[in-house]
């Protein structure tokens, strides 16, 4: 069985360096056997934020890829907090989509994060989830995703 780190390598993915929070919060907060991860926004490889509104100037496929970027950052925050990714099980994901009021595919966008968690963690990546639309998100980003992990 491959480890999450081996799966990341097989997928050709590298965990990003986390930017320091600009406000009053921490990226990850352990509490007993739980790890609460602050919402992450989609940072491209060049460091730029992916901005726009689904259903207006961002496609469903783009939103899906942006949610994957958020999940990759959540995994990076989790590893920075606990070290070994093999110790983690994804319990809950909350995905927020910056969307036009007529947009109806919020779950398909957040599938980008959910799919990546399963690709990296296998069955331990399957989770409960909410996917909701928002009128706006910080810095006009397309998506924001937060998560709760269990730590073995």
Which tens digits make up the pLDDT trace of 28-70? 999 999 999 999 999 988 889 999 999 999 999 999 999 999 9
pTM for the predicted model, two decimal places: 0.95
Q: Where does the pLDDT of residue 85 fall: very low under 50, low under 70, confident under 90, or very high at 90 and above?
A: very high
- Predicted confidence at residue 35, as pLDDT, reads 98
- Predicted confidence at residue 22, as pLDDT, reads 80
Average pLDDT over residues 86-107: 97
Residue of 61, 66, 27 whose CA lies nearest to 147 = 27
CATH of the domain at 120: 3.30.1330.40
Domain that holds residue 138: 30-151
Chain centre distance of CA 132: 14
Residue 52 forms part of a structural domain? yes
Residue 122 forms part of a structural domain? yes
Count of domains in the chain? 1
Residue 62 forms part of a structural domain? yes
Four-point Cα dihedral 28, 34, 40, 45, nearest 10: 80
- Predicted confidence at residue 101, as pLDDT, reads 95
């Amino acid at each position: 069985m491959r480890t999450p780190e081996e799966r990341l390598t097989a997928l050709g993915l590298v965990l990003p360096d986390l930017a320091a929070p600009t406000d009053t919060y921490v990226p990850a907060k352990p509490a007993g056997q739980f790890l609460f991860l602050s919402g992450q926004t989609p940072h491209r490889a060049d460091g730029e934020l992916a901005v726009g509104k689904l259903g207006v100037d961002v496609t469903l496929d783009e939103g899906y890829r942006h949610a994957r970027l958020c999940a990759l950052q959540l995994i990076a925050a989790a590893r920075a907090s606990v070290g070994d990714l093999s110790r983690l099980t994804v319990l809950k994901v909350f995905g927020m989509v910056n969307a036009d009021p007529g947009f109806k595919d919020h779950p398909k966008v957040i599938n980008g994060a959910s799919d990546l968690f399963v690709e990296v963690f296998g069955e331990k990546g399957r989770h409960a989830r909410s996917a909701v639309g928002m009128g706006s998100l910080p810095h006009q980003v397309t998506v924001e995703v937060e998560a709760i992990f269990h730590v073995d």
